[in-house]
Structure 1
Amino acid sequence: MVSTTTVKNDELDKYLKMNIEDIYKQSNPLPFWKHHQHKFPCLSLLARRLFSIPVTSAAVERSFSAAGLAVTERRSSLDPDTVNNILFVRSIQNLLERNPDFFS
């Protein structure tokens, strides 16, 4: 019986030894992984998940904004864990406002 780790290592070795065609040498790697998903099932899944993560700072900026609203001059000595808890509760509240059945 062949272990999953061995299969993944074989895929990686095949990929690293492969000569990639010029058509796939572009800024978007997803067409390459779609075309080679049968040859590299584990690597293509990993690549599709990795390269489908949106590149944006909007969520981080919203978090900093929310932290600025929670930590005011009067509450500047709040414990960092308390601030994290406040932000967590606010994010759950916002989520439930947008999608009330989220946890159902």
Structure 2
Amino acid sequence: MLNGSKDQSTTPKDELTQYLDSGPLSFWKENQHRFPALAAMARDTLLVLATRAGVERLFNTARDICYYRRGRLNATTIQELIMFRCTSKFDAEEDEAIYLKEFLSENEIEARMEVKEDPD
């Protein structure tokens, strides 16, 4: 089933077992040419960095929004405020990148990024 043609010697259960045993990264690496659209979606999904930093940042944002004086905020309002803050930050970073590319040379951009990465 996964290979596009039904092989009588392999049952769907065997195919599923083979898929699960191979691991998703190796499966999509081997089959990216057979399923290009699905492989692109899998790449986007599977290449998310495994780190807690993003989650911790999200909880910090939620903490800033939901401090004790705002105890009556509706759950939908909280969600919308968190999404607004996250997208606003992304938009600001995107605007900065456009500015950098438009007005600064490659060396100036690299120097600015090094300063931004090194807080000391």
Q: TM-score, normalised by structure 2?
A: 0.50
Q: Distance in 1 between matches of 2:55 and 2:5?
A: 33
Q: What residue is the counterpart of 2:30 in the other structure?
A: 35
| CA offset digits 1:43-79 (Å, max 9, x no partner) | 9615444432322332222111101001111111211
Kindly indicate which of the two structures has a greater share of residues assigned to helix.
2
Which consecutive unaligned segments of at least 5 residues does structure 1 have? 1-7
Q: What residue is the counterpart of 1:66 in the other structure?
A: 61
Q: Distance in 2 between matches of 1:97 and 1:75?
A: 26
Q: Distance in 2 between matches of 1:101 and 1:79?
A: 33
Aligned residues: 88
Q: Which amino acid is the alignment partner of residue 84 of structure 2? A: V
**Any conservation in 2 of the 1:34–1:44 contact (CA below 8 Å)?**
no
Matches within 5 A, 1:1-104: 11=4, 29-38=24-33, 40-41=34-35, 45=39, 47-100=42-95
Q: Which amino acid is the alignment partner of residue 65 of structure 1? A: N
Deviation at 1:13, TM superposition (A): 5.3
Q: SS in structure 1 opposite 2:4?
A: helix
Q: TM-score, normalised by structure 1?
A: 0.56
- Aligned CA distance change for structure 1 residues 71 and 58 (closer, same or farther; 3 Å): same
Q: Distance in 2 between matches of 1:42 and 1:12?
A: 17
Q: Distance in 1 between matches of 2:81 and 2:5?
A: 43
- The CA RMSD measured in Å over matched residues stands at 3.7
